[in-house]
Amino acid sequence: MKAGKQIITIVFLVLVVIMSLFLLMNHMFGKSILYLKDEKFNYAVNYLQPLAFIGHSKAQKILGECYAFGHGVDENMEKAKYWLKRASNSNNCNNYQCISSDLYFIGRNYLEGIGVDINREKAIIWIKMAADNGYPKAVEYMLQSRIPADQ
């Protein structure tokens, strides 16, 4: 009988710890979103990075976008692609085709100045990566804009 109570107590404690961690992760993610909305990117990244490292796919995707746009971190295309790819890996997808829509999204933001200064050169780089992976909207944009494939 005593062993049964101990097992129940241990199971209960494990559940409490798991629930507490889940609530903490949700709190941290919520705080990061609020900071992003207020354009306090440094604070947002401080909350996103630990979540991304432990595998929170939404935090990984947003952290990738932060690296792409230089929000709260130095702009870094390789780190952006790394975190976007890690986020897609969480969805059982492990190739760059899975992040093509994200690459296109980043390119469009640079093209239209959404959240960043308009920068056609950077936009073309990101959209071309999406087109190289066969993303239809990116391919269509590259064809309509008559941008050479080697650019």
Q: Strand, coil or helix: what is 109? A: helix
Q: pLDDT tens-digit profile of 87-109?
A: 887 666 656 667 888 999 999 99
Q: Are residues 86 and 117 in the same domain?
A: no
The predicted model gives 26-30 an average pLDDT of: 96
The answer on 102 and 37 residing in a single domain is no
Together in a domain, 28 and 78: yes
Of the three residues 79, 94, 109, the one that is the final residue of a domain is 94
31: number of Cβ within 10 Å = 15
Confidence band, pLDDT 50/70/90 cuts, at residue 150: low
pLDDT in tens, 52-76: 999 999 999 999 999 999 999 999 9
pLDDT in tens, 104-114: 999 999 999 98
What's the longest Cα–Cα distance across the chain?
Answer: 78
Closest CA to 50 of 59, 62, 61, 38: 59
